[in-house]
Amino acid sequence: MSNAPGSARPALTMLSDDERAFRDAVAEFARGEVAPRVQQMERDAKLDPALIKAYFEMGLMGIQAPEAHGGAGGTVMLVTIAVEEISKVDAASAIMVDVQNTLVANPLLAAATPEQLARWMPRLCRDTVGAYALSEASSGSDAFALRTRAVKTDGGWRLTGRKLWITNGAEAGLYVLFATVDPARGYKGITAFVVERSAPGFSVGKKEDKLGIRASSTTELILEDVFVPDADVLGPVGQGYRFAIQALNEGRVGIGAQMIGIAQGALDAAVAYLKERQQFGRPLAEFQGIQFQVAQAATELEAARLMVYNAARLKDAGEDIAQAGAMAKLLSSQVCERVTSLCVELFGGYGYTKDYPVEKFYRDAKIGTIYEGTSNMQLSTIAKGILK
């Protein structure tokens, strides 16, 4: 597919030779390293540490990081491809790669000084999991109603408060964390900090017991007079909201990649089953009613994939993706729910059991309409862009 003459927008659907090779390598990795661990990780509600180590060794934790700091110097499109391929096998495993490369890497690449990048980025590429800590009990959809306070002191800041719903919270060693220096200033008081797990007064609290994506940790963070030196403030004081929004915009592309991966994994499993399962003397795949359902699901999934890929390409082209990212997340999460629900039905009673993979795909799908902004919040973002 080629661009129209004079168009600045990149091709949407065609992958380059390098992108195809990367996709195939990640798919092979997912089959060989992720798939054998899925059931045990699901039962334990915990990622296998050996898999996390394998992510680092494969280079999947620093896809966008500069080569000078140990990363691949890659694109958002490559992150999207990686997250989609792993999600076809296990979305809970893919989330760690997603968060590391979008929510954590984005604020650092946007706001960190050269000295800060040299301190943090090699660790994130080599052996340290990162987490993005914005949400609190009182600030879900109202993301900037933060109560975590940062008070200036000699040589740094004292942070006190609690964070909630923090992905990678249990495994992380570094946290991109947002606090307010002055609640009266609203979002203009929000400041970004990088907090070490080892900081005195910092601890990881309750780990949530979730419906889906069970192996991905979702935790509370507790800050009790945690000292953060001035050298660990990320960007200007009071400008943290800018970096938070930028990260969420890119993160929604990652959520979209998760959703199309989940849906594709479920559909692949269903298609294989329909070709094998015999009813009334012939495979289920030969019944026209089922064929039409599968065709509709595949068509909707392809539409969602194009929207996710488009948002990734636009981000790589330096475009504002607030609306494109919201649309991609909204549609892909809706399609994922419909496709995985259909796949459970196509398996019949077997689809409702843990002996077959589609019940897990179905449970993992639901989170897409909730985290990094609910569907209603995406609709609000889209409407504001259209009606401004």
Strands 174-180 and 130-133, how do they pair?
A: parallel
318-349 burial by CB neighbour count: b if 16+ within 10 A, else e? Answer: eeebbbbbbbbbbbbbbbbbebbbbbbebbee
CA–CA distance, 324 with 311 (Å, rounded to integer): 5
Catalytic residue flag (residue 372)? yes
CA–CA distance, 94 with 87 (Å, rounded to integer): 5
* Contact between 102 and 250 (Cβ < 8 Å): yes
CA dihedral 191, 234, 255, 353 (to 10 degrees): -90
Please name the amino acid found at residue 91: A
CA–CA distance, 68 with 7 (Å, rounded to integer): 33
List the catalytic residue out of 33, 85, 220, 372.
372
- Round to the nearest angstrom and report the end-to-end CA distance of the chain: 32
Q: DSSP states of 298-330 as a string?
A: HHHHHHHHHHHHHHHHHHHTT---HHHHHHHHH
Three-state secondary structure call for residue 279? strand
CA–CA distance, 346 with 361 (Å, rounded to integer): 13
What residues act catalytically?
372
